[in-house]
Amino acid sequence: MQAGLIAFFEEIINRIYPGYVKDHFLILPANKKNYSEILYGILKENGNKMHLSDIFRRFKELYPDDKYDEPNKIKQFMMRDERIENIGRSSIWKLSEWEGYTGSLPELAVELVSKKSKPVAIADLAKEMLSHRPDSTERSATSIIYLCIKEGKLIDYYGDFVGLPKRKYGSSYVLQPHTFDEWMEAFKNYVYQNNCFPTTKGQGYESSLFNWYYDSKSYVNLSSEEILKFHQMLTDLALYPHTINELKFFNNCKRYREFANQAGRMLTRSDEPGLFYWFETNKERFMGYDDNRKIYFKNLLSYLAEKLGEF
């Protein structure tokens, strides 16, 4: 009797669900969701990138009773699906088939700078980053640029420009000093290259160096060790022109010396009146100077005495 009933029910089930009965057991198919397909479909349906929380909200609308109850629990399926990409390290997701940059903002900053032949303004770089990652903000992009500078991925140049650490740029771009030692090195390099101290009439980078020099003379925010370094630097650079007047005087001494060297004689009024009167006037005045002008003129007279037998 029991065997007959079993056979009867098996026949009914097989008519409705063929193949579900095997060896008198009812085999039900696994009722598993293909989460990757579902999440891919949600993005595809939306047609644009989505935040993880928005993807999860739509997922729960479709499957309110699903066991996953937090956004982070469905993220694993998107991470394993090559068709779905995470944008940078954010919670924004998109389909691989869609165009657009998906790397991190630091990687994007370095990549954009690497394509430039010269340093790029930080403000311009931030705006260019947003053209690739419109989900970010200019403030965030700017912060990322400064983070790249701090981590050594980018290097900053005076005037709020950035470049690559190992790339050589033109001499018109100078590294932005930060520490005392960097400012001191920048100051010395400027003096060596320009043969004078930065002056009060300088602009831009020269003005910044002059302000640093002026503040350092007053020991503003300097440690005892830095004060000693500053004084040693001044000793090393003592004979370079410190002011515009010294620079003009030094150049006149240089011009007079070059004339004497080429002509083999003293300069006359007919050769160059302005330089002639300058020399004649300072023969009487130079001992009264209390700066480098006295040294420059004494050196000129010594040269003329040795070269021409004058004085």
- Which structural domains are found in the chain, ordered by start? 1-31 (no CATH), 35-95 (1.10.10.10), 105-163 (1.10.10), 180-236 (no CATH), 244-308 (no CATH)
Residue spans of beta strands (DSSP E) within 34-154: 50-51, 84-86, 92-95, 120-121
Residue 155 DSSP class: E
For the question of whether the overall pTM of this predicted structure is more than 0.95, the answer is: no
Q: How far apart are CA 191 and CA 238, in angstroms?
A: 11
Could you give the percent of the chain with pLDDT greater than 70? 88
Residue 20, number of CB atoms within 10 A of its CB? 14
Residue 175 DSSP class: B
Q: How far apart are CA 182 and CA 176, in angstroms?
A: 8
Question: pLDDT (tens digit, 9 = 90+) per residue, 16-73?
Answer: 556 656 666 655 555 568 999 999 899 888 888 889 999 999 999 989 988 999 999 9
Q: How far apart are CA 168 and CA 90, in angstroms?
A: 33
Q: Tokens 């690739």: give the residue.
A: 132
Question: pLDDT (tens digit, 9 = 90+) per residue, 199-223?
Answer: 888 888 999 999 999 999 999 889 9
pLDDT along the chain (311 residues), means of 10: 64 63 58 84 85 91 90 91 81 81 83 93 94 84 93 93 92 90 96 93 89 93 95 97 95 96 94 96 94 96 88 63
